[in-house]
Chains A and B, each alone.
Chain A
Amino acid sequence: DVAEQLTPDGPREESLQLVSELKDPWCSCPVDVGTVWWAAAGHRELRVVTASESAVSLWQPLAPDCWGKVYTWHLTELPVIQIVPLPDTCNLVCVALGELEIGEIRLLLYSETDSFKHSLVKTGNIKAVVGLKDQRLVSSSRTMQEQQVEMVLLSETGGSKDRQTLMPPEETVTAFAEVEGMREALVGTTAGNSVVVWNLKTGQLLRKMHIGYSYPASICHRAYSDSGLLFVVLSHPHAKESESCGSPAFRVVAFNPRSGRSTGVMFSCLPPGRAGRRGDVWDTAGAAVLTSGAVAVWDLLRGHCTAVLPPGPAGHWALARWAAGGAGLLAGHRDGTVHLYRY
């Protein structure tokens, strides 16, 4: 696998097929892109969401290769930092806003009676947030004295139906990931480089397992429970390049939650000579923007880099996000152009 990646004719963009392009001439500084399921007039379709610091736009497919902007929410008090994907939720867009770190989380929604509006879900010094299936949102926030980890059950009208406090670990939680197939389990990574596991129903902190010192500041993206083991997809934004392994982009690590022991299962490294990455994972595929301005895609189960999108005529790629429901990869340029690729 490594030999294949080292060949000059290594992965190209063949496994990514350009489906369509959308361009917002008013968006000069995109901060995020994503997709949302939208139900209207009796059917459900996937729509694209683009975010700049002060506006979030909803895009509707008009024809197979053509998108039109449906609506723009203007958010003027705090800059938008990221779109928070809400799996299997319809007609709700969740965004995180703040200066250097997330200060508030808002829902952007449309209702028959109120038209388009937005509502505040959470405020504080928010360190990490994740959207889960069944309209649930989990976040960690910190005061000088303590850390709060909370799950909010969102209502269809953009409010909060219920709140559940989860037991916080001593270390700050830096990322969350849902566990595929286990509705009540949630994993997180901490500033002390551990993986923690919660029971979402009871709020119990079940286990803290150290990742190891070789890969500091690991970020969890997704987890799968199988055969009594917990397989966690981690990215390593700050790992140093090593002669034996190259630069790790993603690793799949198997944890035994009973014993707390772990072992590396699969290793996906950056294409040779590349550096930097900001990653996203969907199912078993990983994607990241490299500092060279290219986008790289990996099959995480095989450890293969399967595609590289070089910087195009419009310049460096700035964003790479997987669309919901296996609809492909969204890649965004700094000039506001977004390409949708089938993968």
Chain B
Amino acid sequence: CSESDLGPISLNWFEELSAEAPP
């Protein structure tokens, strides 16, 4: 699967989503 199919990939997705999600 390529990045174009799945959108921008981040290795730190878990930390980033935790910082953005409502507490």
Residues of A within 8 A of B (CB): 167, 182, 184-185, 197, 199, 202, 204-207, 225, 227-230, 254, 256-263, 265
Q: Cα distance A227–B16 when bound, in Å?
A: 15
CB pair A228–B13 under 8 Å, yes or no, is yes
B16 to A: closest C-beta gap in Å: 7
Interface residues of B (CB under 8 A from A): 1, 5-11, 13-14, 16-18, 21-23
Is there contact, CB below 8 Å, between A229 and B6?
yes
Taking a contact as CB atoms under 8 Å apart, the answer to whether A199 and B14 are in contact is yes
Whether the Cβ atoms of A204 and B18 lie closer than 8 Å is yes
Known A206-B18, A254-B1; judge A259-B8 contact (CB<8 A). Answer: yes
Chain B residues lying within 8 Å of A263, measured Cβ to Cβ, are 1, 5-6
Contacts of B21 in A (CB 8 A): 199, 204-206
A227 near B14 with CB under 8 A, answer no
B7/A261 in contact, CB under 8 A: yes
Question: Whole-angstrom distance from the CB of A90 to the nearest CB of chain B?
Answer: 29
Report A227 CB to chain B, min CB distance, Å: 7
Chain B's closest residue to A230 (CB) is B13
13 A-B residue pairs with CB within 8 Å: A167-B22, A199-B14, A204-B21, A204-B23, A205-B21, A206-B14, A228-B10, A256-B7, A256-B13, A258-B13, A258-B16, A259-B6, A261-B5
Across the A-B interface, how many residue pairs have beta carbons closer than 8 Å?
A: 61
Known A259-B7, A262-B6: A207·B17 in contact at CB below 8 Å: yes
Chain B residue with Cβ nearest A229:
B9
Interface contact B23-A257, CB-CB below 8 Å? no
Identity of the chain B residue whose Cβ is nearest the Cβ of A185 in the assembled complex: B14
Residue of B nearest to A265 (CB): B1
| Bound: A261/B6 CA distance, A | 5
| Closest chain B CB from A87 CB (angstroms) | 20
Query: B17, A227: Cβ atoms under 8 Å?
Result: no
Q: A199-B14, A254-B1, A257-B13 known; 7 other A-B pairs, CB under 8 Å?
A: A206-B14, A206-B17, A228-B13, A254-B6, A259-B6, A261-B7, A263-B6
C-alpha gap A258/B17 in the complex (Å): 8
A151 CA / B5 CA spacing, docked (Å) = 34
Chain B residue with Cβ nearest A197: B17
Q: Which residue from A202, A229, A259 sits with its C-beta under 8 Å from B18?
A: A202
- A259 CA to B9 CA in the complex, in Å? 8
Residue among A197, A205, A259 with most chain B CB within 10 A: A259
- Counting chain A CB atoms within 10 Å of each CB, which of B7, B8, B9 scores highest? B9
Contact in complex: B14, A258 (CB < 8 Å): no
Measured CB to CB, the nearest residue on chain A to B6 is A256
Contacts of B5 in A (CB 8 A): 261, 263
* Alpha-carbon gap, A228 to B7, bound state (A): 11
- B9: A residues at CB distance < 8 A: 227-229, 256, 258
Q: Which residues of B contact A199 (CB under 8 A)?
A: 14, 17-18, 21
Please, which residues of chain B bring their CB within 8 A of the CB of A230? 13
Minimum CB–CB distance from A263 to chain B (whole Å) comes to 5
Distance (Å) between the CB of B8 and the closest chain A CB? 6
B5 to chain A, nearest CB (A): 5
- The residue from B1, B14, B22 contacting A257, defined by CB atoms under 8 A apart: B14
